[in-house]
Chains A and B, each alone.
Chain A
Amino acid sequence: NSKVIQTPRYLVKGQGQKAKMRCIPEKGHPVVFWYQQNKNNEFKFLINFQNQEVLQQIDMTEKRFSAECPSNSPCSLEIQSSEAGDSALYLCASSLWGEGSYEQYFGPGTRLTVL
């Protein structure tokens, strides 16, 4: 079972408001990923980190989304100005990425509703 912790489980925001969600990766996992799963259950990769450094991010993330994984603190994903189209399930995953273990383990997700 996954030990990735995500908070809050549900988040309701108005358009234009900030929305922030947090993730604690599984202990010992240096790589963290954020995904968006839309109402059609399609996944979109947003950004990933290795320790505190960004490895890869998509264009959408560079504009209204900000994310960080500070040392000794939860990782976070923040939408600066929420739009209706941002309503989705936001999933955090972590990975050991090494020693024969390359799979990602998902947290329970934060379901964002933008009114």
Chain B
Amino acid sequence: GDSVTQTEGLVTLTEGLPVMLNCTYQTIYSNPFLFWYVQHLNESPRLLLKSFTDNKRTEHQGFHATLHKSSSSFHLQKSSAQLSDSALYYCALNNYAQGLTFGLGTRVSVFP
């Protein structure tokens, strides 16, 4: 079945520094849909980015990612982290109207 592998565990960084979270996936389908969701403490996941177009950069709220089907990757980046970016980040994949396959999540903690 489908699988998603993302940067594991906890990522700590100082406010103002760049952040990059890796995401790679495996699927038998040639046109998967890739997503990044962010989940703040005691909240539900909120869509951050989405893509199903190869080699096209997608941006939202200062974050960006590019789907590369050749390397099965969809890495999340931001040039300057803010304190409010502290949260759980999930890379997810699905095909057609199937349930999402989530990675295990990456906890990001941004310090002053």
Q: Are B45 and A56 in contact (CB under 8 A)?
A: no
Q: Are B97 and A91 in contact (CB under 8 A)?
A: no
Describe B's contact surface by its main secondary structure.
Answer: strand
Interface residue tally of chain B, by bracket?
20 to 34
Q: Are B50 and A106 in contact (CB under 8 A)?
A: no
A89 to B105, CA, bound (A): 16
Contact partner, A50, options B45, B97, B100, Cβ 8 Å: B97
Describe A's contact surface by its main secondary structure.
Answer: strand
Give the interface segment out of A41-49, A67-75, A79-87.
A41-49
Q: Which 8 A-B pairs have the closest CB atoms?
A: A45-B99, A43-B102, A106-B44, A103-B50, A102-B33, A109-B44, A106-B45, A97-B97
Task: Report A's interface with B, CB cutoff 8 A.
Answer: 2, 31, 33, 35, 41-43, 45-46, 48, 50, 55-56, 89, 91, 93, 95, 97, 102-109
